[in-house]
Amino acid sequence: MKITSVLVTGGAGFIGANLVRMLLKRDCKVTVFDNFSTGRYAYLEGLPVDIVEGDVLDRDLLIEVIRSHQSIIHLAAQTGVPGSLLDPYHDCEANVVGTLNVLEACRAAAKDSSATKMSQKIVFASSNAPLGRQIPPAAEDKAPLPVSPYGASKLAAEAYCLAYYGSWGLNTIVLRFGNVYGPFSEHKGSVVAEFFKAICNNNVITMHGDGAQTRDFVYVADLCRAVLLALDCNEAGEVFQIATGVETSINRLIEMVRDVSGRDTSIYKAPTRHGDVRKNYSMIVKAREMLGWEPEVDLDLGLRKTYEWFVKKT
């Protein structure tokens, strides 16, 4: 079935801004649902999208908006470990209750004769944080061991997505994103964005810990293709790791951003942050086999594309 109408919660944020553009290229009717607490109107300027300013904690508004869409991509969230440590209650409310409200709105829409019934596809944006202390590579069949409130809230939201498939047949798919980077990330606290902001503003790079910790960096355009494949596929009630399978240390990342920018920016070594995992990269066999997805942009090229965008914004 060709997807023609998509609601993107959190569509004015980093991933949303990239995803909305990709959806429009497919001639989809796109509605962005965002409270603009971190998202930016400027990211959507000039785009032929409908914008609903609202919060995923507003269940009644969600029911009203969701009923007219074939597919829902749920990106809206509290999106990081530091924020979850500062306010675990808000983290839970945004990530767990917000996701539950989206699912309940979809279930309510399915009961309505004017809605699209259970054919609605719901793609939920999760992360590797639920796996926490697991020895990498991260894989869908490993038991979650979250070490931060953020990981716990994303795990609970994943569980609700799978439970609504099991109990009521909602067509949910969970995508566990690696460390996403790319254009439209200037407002994010992610490591690539922070490094490039520091370089562009002639500040020092702040590195937490000894730099030996590792991550799996996935370029945002590759990730958005995975989301579209999840929308199109016939699978439901599944979890997929969306990353590259390549482990990169923060020390190596610093070398690469210095090379890309041509600047030998100084480093400030800050203490290790609570809730951060030591090593993290993913096994992506399931996404390859079931979604037909393969990352195309390697880290060097992706960093160059990202740096070009940051330079233009500075």
150 is a catalytic site residue: yes
For residue 282, what are the β-bridge partners?
A: 138
Contact status, residue 160 vs residue 96, Cβ threshold 8 Å: yes
Distance CA 188, CA 15 (A): 11
Q: Is the peptide bond before 144 cis (omega within 30 degrees of 0)?
A: no
* H-run or E-run covering 93: none
Query: What's CA 81's distance to the chain center, in Å?
Result: 13
SS3 content of the chain, % helix, strand, coil (to 5): 45, 20, 40
Which distant-in-sequence residues (6+ apart) come within 8 Å of 151 by Cβ?
Answer: 81, 127, 129, 130, 131, 132, 144, 275
Distance CA 283, CA 139 (A): 5
Axis-axis angle for helices 149-168, 98-111 (nearest 10): 10
Contact status, residue 47 vs residue 21, Cβ threshold 8 Å: yes
b/e map of 99-125 (b: 16 or more CB within 10 Å)? Answer: bbbbbbbbbbbbeeeebbebebbbbbb
Which one-letter amino acid corresponds to residue 201? N
Query: Phi and psi dihedrals of 138, rounded to 5?
Result: -65, 135
Distance CA 8, CA 236 (A): 19
Active-site option among 43, 150, 160, 165: 150
The set of catalytic residues is: 150
